[in-house]
Amino acid sequence: MNIRVQILAVMIGLGILVTILELIRKRKLREEYSVLWFATAIGILVLSLWFPLLEWLTALLGVVWPATTLFLFGLIFLVLISLHFSIKVSRLTDQVKDLAQEAALLSEEVSRFRAQSAVPEARPDTSSSNS
């Protein structure tokens, strides 16, 4: 494989690795979302540094150029990551919906009980400035 392609691939792999670590360190990314990213970065590093493995895979796939194999694997991982996020987002959507419905029902209940016991509505804006 062309040495420049190899250097580029190693840099991309290292770049992803460092970025992910840094994001977790700063608590901007949760550990559970990082698994596939680490797998991608390590996959790219292993394939670009361990040339016999890459050659073997290239022959297996019937691809002409080893770099194609490398980027093919990168692409597959990106598809997996997107799918993973779609699943997570779907779950979050359901959870947000349930929470909003629950908040709506509880808030109705609070105002109903308040009306029954004739406790005046709380006014957070004005009361908090006095305390």
Q: Containing H/E element for 62?
A: none
* Closer to other proteins by Cβ: residue 31 or 108: 108
Residue in 66, 64, 29, 60 with CA at minimum distance from that of residue 44: 66
* Closer to other proteins by Cβ: residue 80 or 105: 105
Q: C-beta of 105: minimal distance to other proteins in Å?
A: 6
Q: C-beta of 98: minimal distance to other proteins in Å?
A: 9
Measured at the alpha carbon of residue 10, what is the angle toward residues 54 and 40, in degrees to the nearest 5?
Answer: 70
* Closer to other proteins by Cβ: residue 62 or 124: 124
Phi, psi (degrees; rounded to nearest 5) at 85: -70, -40
Residue whose tokens read 């670009």: 48
Q: C-beta of 115: minimal distance to other proteins in Å?
A: 11
Q: C-beta of 126: minimal distance to other proteins in Å?
A: 21
CB 28 within 8 A of CB 70: no
* Closer to other proteins by Cβ: residue 22 or 98: 98
User: What are the residues binding other proteins (CB under 8 A)?
Assistant: 94, 97, 100-101, 103-105, 107-108, 112
CA distance 103 to 49: 53
